[in-house]
Amino acid sequence: MKLFIKLLIIVGMLGIISCAKSIGYENNIPVKEGHDAFAKGNYEKAVKFYKKACDTNSGSGCFGLGLMYNDGEGIKKDYKKASRFYKKACYMNYARGCGRLGIMYQYGEGIKKNYNQAEQSYKKACYLNDGNSCFRLGYMYHVGKGVRKSYTKAAKFYKKSCDLDDGSGCYSIGNMFANGKIVKKSYSKAAEFYKKACDLDDGNGCFRLGTMYRVGKGVKKSHTKAIELFKKACDKSIKASCYNIGLLYDTGKGVRKSYTKAVEFYEKSCDMNSSVGCGSLGLMYEKGRGVSKSYTKAVEFYKKACGMNIGRSCVRLGIVYEKGTGAEKSYLKAIGFYEKACDLNIGHGCSNLGNMYENGKEVNQSYSNAVELYKKACNMNSGIGCGNLGRMYLNAKGVKKSYFKALRFHKKACNLNNGASCSALGIIYTYGKGVKKSYSKAVGFYEKACRLNFQTGCENLEKIQNR
């Protein structure tokens, strides 16, 4: 970790070297000696030379000294002193000094938080052609952080940032074209800016361009290109990109299906705290796809995903605890996870919770509570919830018996591919429960139930065909 931080600082210092020429300090010998000392890891010497350069009014030297105080290399970390040297560098029209000063004003590091001063510092840095400061200024206008929100101004500064080869600016102006904010919506224009962002090593730009290739928006659809771009973004720690690669390998879209590869990328995304990545990884361990089946591991990853509010993973945890597979059976814990899933608007969670009330598992049996939860699930288009609700109306549990409502909810459930409800509709039409008998309709529903692998539907189909 310490080595990684040092590398980042070295990259920052190399930026000073590259910028020095454009600012006019390329002939400042102490600055050059400071850069050389820093590159060799002689931080104390670097501080000495940067200080000497700064004392002779070198903006580059003051910036270098500020950066060292900022990061605490070869000198005690001191944000207050860092801000002082950034301010001096900015006063000498050193663009990156103004940019860093803006950051310190925006976040209150070593200096009192002041959005107005942050805006002014970014403006000066942007005027001096610091692309990243143009991006930061655009973002302030975009979200209205300390300034009056203005998409027009945001677009202006994002565009300048991109023209100055800042990837974040290109990515942001691409988003504006994709969403039609201020500019006319244009997926082709968005793709153009995402490509430039990606070429400038902006991971988000690579990811968004990849999604456009995956669905064919603004570019010709290509899963091969999508994966290539997702991999580039994943290498830049874009967790959503790692997850998407895993999903493509999991489903075999555009690539040869490989559960092993899917697990590899789900794992990467989960390590970056991708909630959906952790949930998908849990499912792979539960089903034994690409890894040895392990309920213990499945529970571990479902818990992580559920903790990040992935409702489907909360449902899976509830099922684990209700059935006692991979964890000690606990209806109380199952209820807790179903409740959370239901609160996160996952219909399956509401339906399973309703089932706990219907059967009195660790709660007082209550058909009325079960009905309310099945209704909620059905309203979220849960086939299981609609099917359970239809069954309650058919059997007069918690509600007044109604063949009409039973038919209505079972039909909705069957349309949502609930095989049990398709089979139930077959029975309703076979015996004429609240409807006119119709063997042809019954056969149609039994056939669908059988296609959905509901065994009772297959058995009922065989019976009615043998009559």
Residue by residue, DSSP assigns 49-77 as HHHHHHHTT-HHHHHHHHHHHHHTSSS--
Neighbours of 211 (CB within 10 A): 18
| Nearest Cα to Cα of residue 352 among 380, 393, 394 | 380
**What's the pLDDT score for residue 34?**
79
Distance of alpha carbon 390 from alpha carbon 380, whole angstroms: 15
226 alpha carbon, distance to own chain's centre: 17
Q: Among 387, 436, 418, 438, which Cα is nearest to 464's?
A: 438
**What span, in angstroms and rounded, lies between the C-alpha atoms of 274 and 309?**
11
Q: Quote the strand ranges of 102-251, DSSP E.
A: none
Contact status, residue 310 vs residue 279, Cβ threshold 8 Å: yes
DSSP letter assigned to residue 85: H
The DSSP code sequence of 250-272 is HHTSSS---HHHHHHHHHHHHHT
Mean per-residue pLDDT pooled into runs of 10, the chain (467 residues)? 38 41 49 83 86 91 92 87 95 96 94 94 96 96 92 95 97 95 91 97 97 95 93 96 95 92 97 97 96 95 97 96 91 97 97 97 95 97 97 96 96 97 96 93 96 95 87
pLDDT of residue 17: 40
Residue 9's pLDDT is 39
pLDDT score, position 25: 39
CATH class of 417-467: mainly alpha
Using alpha carbons, select from 233, 298, 227 the residue that is nearest to residue 272: 233
Query: What distance in Å separates the CA atoms of residue 457 and residue 454, rounded to the nearest whole number?
Result: 6
Alpha-carbon distance of 281 to 285, in angstroms, equals 6
Which residues 6+ apart lie within 8 Å of 132 measured at CB?
99, 161, 166, 168
pTM of the model: 0.81
Instruction: Return the pLDDT at 27.
Output: 56
301 to each of 138, 282, 283, 286, 318, how far by Cα in Å? Answer: 38, 5, 9, 10, 14
**Separation of alpha carbons 319 and 331, rounded Å:** 9
From CA 168, how far away is CA 249, in angstroms rounded? 29
Q: Give the Cα-Cα-Cα angle 145, 272, 269 (nearest 5 degrees).
A: 120
- Rounded to a whole number of angstroms, the CA Rg of the chain reads 31
CA 222 to chain CA centroid, nearest Å: 22
CA triplet 349, 289, 258: central angle to 5 degrees?
120
pLDDT of residue 380: 97
Contact 384, 348 (CB under 8 A): yes
Contact 290, 258 (CB under 8 A): yes
Burial tier of 231 (Cβ tally within 10 Å: 0-12, 13-18, 19+) = middle
Element (H, E) at 45: helix 43-55
- Answer for the pair 278, 313: CB distance below 8 angstroms, yes or no: yes
> Where exactly are the structural domains of the chain?
417-467
